[in-house]
A = this chain, B = another copy of it.
Amino acid sequence: MAAAAKRVVIIGGDAAGLKTAARLRRLDKDAKIDVLERGHILSYAACGLPYFLSGDVDSFQELVSTAWGDVKDEEFFRLAKGIETHTGHAAVTIDRERNVLTARKDDGSEVDFPYDVLVIAVGAEPYRIEVQGCDLEGVQCFTRPEEAKQLRRGLETGGIGRVAVIGAGYIGLELCEAFGALWGAGTVLVEKENQVLPRMLDREMARLVEQELVKNDVELRLNCTLTRIRKQGEELVVVLSDGTEENVDRVIFAPGVHPRTDLAEAAGLKIGPHGGILVDNQGRTSDPSIFAAGDCAELPFNGTSHLLPLGSIANRMGRVVANVIHGLDDQLPRLFGSAVVKVFDLNVAVTGKTARALEADGVPTESYWGSFPANAHYFPESTDVFLKMVNAADGRLRGLQAVGAGEVVRWVDAFAQILDLAEGNPEALARFEHAYAPPFATAMDPFHHFYSMIEAGPDLVIHPEDLRDGGEARWTVLNLLNEKEAENIEWPEMRGRRVDIPINDLREHLDDLPDRDIVAVCARGTRSYEATVLLRNHNKEACYLGGGVRMILS
């Protein structure tokens, strides 16, 4: 007698849930697979919502269609994927004694789904911002399709001219671009931290993004919170903690998300310290017949647990969970939270930890950073990339931040592999082999330069923030720019004395410099690094401004 078909019930009809279902169907043609979705849209590309809002993506339909134009509805999943999906089915209770999930349908009736295996893939939801006026019309989040559709209509009909965005995480920044770039709507961006993208970037890298926002007419309010919102005629008035008020047509909350765990908590499943459904590296919860995947799950690796609400990871978890349900040996690898966001004409990609995050965890760090041409400097479309590498004090690489107008993802994807396959060993930077031709790259990759910087040690370099706050005229700033370059530079206020010696003249003018506290400065850090080595070879205490003058002009 054949074994009975396995009954797999999956709660949540988005990336993690449907990936689990589709993979499992390929592995097991007989399993009974039911996917429950409380809404009426399946598998919509949530990451694409800002691009629907901006008009880059013309119709919402494209976000719920396959690459070949089929709408991903219940029929599609049944016919093309062999999966039963049930929209308008909200999961209400898990009976772990009887292995039954109960769902409530739109008409209020309840229906039971007995399961052998249950997968919770209910995602995350935005934090609530509980201030006076948060329930006014025109105040909203930006996570559900209806919220995006309604905003888009407002933009199309000219009813939205100015918007307050609360939260400068990646969704907040995508919204600024969506409002501004195509529709010309002004945005006030409010962030409680002292920088944008506080979970992705360190302060000096965030400055580059802040420049780009300001250049695109975004009004930045850092170190600032929302106090209350009130109605004034047709408009909303946003009252901020710095005492200012802003009149806008809409207020959008983008304060980040937290896992949806109500169902799991009610069922007594273990919740992790960060508030997600705690799973092992196979996606299994504290109940061995229940799995969790995607944004609702809290994942264990590197000796602790993490929330990584990213579409890429939701997809990968779906695959792992399906494999494990089918009895295959699979597990999630270490993850580093690689992410990327487009901010107007600037691209920001990261992997691993920021110095900010490591220091908050009490981990001492060393940092290296620089600005590099992304392709041959003589190539007409040459762009710069700013890179910052963060090491733990034990010398292991821990994270990379990349900001630039060009292909910054390339370095982040490569670096994540160094974190994983080489366990952060900096030797991998020296080993790094890259494909070079003038339109695409430079003959020496920035990673090779980083290896030299690490070999030279962190005390060779000075941080732009330190130079700004140099104290009592301590520094002699050795400006190595040649005359032509210097013409285009407006030097910022700096404490200390500036001495202008182009690199070609330096060897002859060593005696004009003091014996200590020299900071060499050039365009990107190349010449100033060489100058610093030269000065030290002549027993002068010197360091250089990593990343060059562009880091202090921001």
Which residues on A are within 8 Å of B, measured CB to CB?
15, 26, 29, 45, 47-48, 51, 56-58, 62-63, 65-70, 75-76, 79-82, 170, 310-312, 314-316, 319, 333-336, 338-342, 347, 349-351, 373, 376-380, 407, 409-410, 412-414, 416-418, 420-422, 428, 430-441, 443-445, 448, 481-482, 484-485, 503-508, 522-524, 526-527, 530, 533-534, 537-538
When A51-B379, A80-B504, A428-B421 are in contact, do A340 and B413 touch as well, CB less than 8 Å?
no
17 contacts between A and B (CB under 8 A): A47-B438, A51-B379, A51-B438, A51-B439, A63-B378, A69-B485, A79-B503, A81-B530, A312-B441, A312-B443, A316-B448, A340-B435, A342-B439, A407-B407, A413-B414, A416-B432, A420-B431
Which residues of B sit under 8 angstroms from A413, Cβ to Cβ?
410, 413-414, 432-435
Residue contact A378 to B340, C-beta cutoff 8 Å: no
Q: How far is the CA of A314 from the CA of B443 in the complex (A)?
A: 9
State which of B70, B170, B409, B523 has its C-beta within 8 Å of the C-beta of A504.
B70
Which residues of B sit under 8 angstroms from A507, Cβ to Cβ?
79, 82
Which residues of B sit under 8 angstroms from A407, Cβ to Cβ?
407, 409-410
When A378-B57, A378-B63, A421-B428 are in contact, do A482 and B69 touch as well, CB less than 8 Å?
yes
Residue contact A376 to B410, C-beta cutoff 8 Å: no
Which residues of B sit under 8 angstroms from A315, Cβ to Cβ?
443-444, 448
State which of B56, B65, B339, B506 has its C-beta within 8 Å of the C-beta of A435.
B339
Which residues of B sit under 8 angstroms from A378, Cβ to Cβ?
45, 48, 51, 57, 62-63, 65
Which residues of B sit under 8 angstroms from A58, Cβ to Cβ?
380
Q: CB-nearest residue of chain B relative to A436?
A: B312
Q: How far is the CA of A428 from the CA of B15 in the complex (A)?
A: 23
Residue contact B80 to A503, C-beta cutoff 8 Å: yes
Residue contact A409 to B435, C-beta cutoff 8 Å: yes
Residue contact A440 to B342, C-beta cutoff 8 Å: yes
When A57-B379, A67-B526, A414-B417 are in contact, do A47 and B437 touch as well, CB less than 8 Å?
yes
Q: How far is the CB of A420 from chain B (nearest CB, A)?
A: 6
Residue contact B68 to A533, C-beta cutoff 8 Å: no
Please tell me how many copies of the chain the complex holds.
2
A-B interface, 4 closest residue pairs, ranked by CB to CB distance from nearest: A67-B377, A421-B421, A312-B436, A340-B435
Q: How far is the CA of A70 from the CA of B527 in the complex (A)?
A: 12
Q: How far is the CA of A59 from the CA of B170 in the complex (A)?
A: 42
Residue contact A533 to B347, C-beta cutoff 8 Å: no
Residue contact B417 to A340, C-beta cutoff 8 Å: no
Q: How far is the CB of A235 from chain B (nearest CB, A)?
A: 32
State which of B338, B380, B421 has its C-beta within 8 Å of the C-beta of A418.
B421
Q: CB-nearest residue of chain B relative to A532?
A: B26
Which residues of B sit under 8 angstroms from A339, Cβ to Cβ?
435-437
State which of B48, B377, B379 has its C-beta within 8 Å of the C-beta of A56.
B379
Q: How far is the CB of A425 from chain B (nearest CB, A)?
A: 9
When A339-B435, A436-B339, A440-B347 are in contact, do A373 and B67 touch as well, CB less than 8 Å?
yes
Q: Kindly list 6 other residue pairs between chains A and B, CB separation below 8 angstroms, not including A65-B378, A315-B444.
A: A15-B443, A29-B534, A48-B376, A315-B443, A319-B448, A417-B417
Q: CB-nearest residue of chain B relative to A377?
A: B67
State which of B341, B434, B435, B527 has its C-beta within 8 Å of the C-beta of A437.
B341
Q: CB-nearest residue of chain B relative to A67?
A: B377
Q: How far is the CB of A151 from chain B (nearest CB, A)?
A: 18
Which residues of B sit under 8 angstroms from A310, Cβ to Cβ?
436
Q: How far is the CA of A378 from the CA of B336 in the complex (A)?
A: 27
Residue contact B485 to A68, C-beta cutoff 8 Å: yes
Q: How far is the CA of A312 from the CA of B316 in the complex (A)?
A: 34
Which residues of B sit under 8 angstroms from A534, Cβ to Cβ?
26, 29, 82
Q: CB-nearest residue of chain B relative to A55?
A: B380
Residue contact B533 to A26, C-beta cutoff 8 Å: yes
Q: How far is the CA of A431 from the CA of B445 in the complex (A)?
A: 24
Q: How far is the CA of A412 from the CA of B15 in the complex (A)?
A: 27
Which residues of B sit under 8 angstroms from A68, Cβ to Cβ?
481-482, 485, 522-523, 527
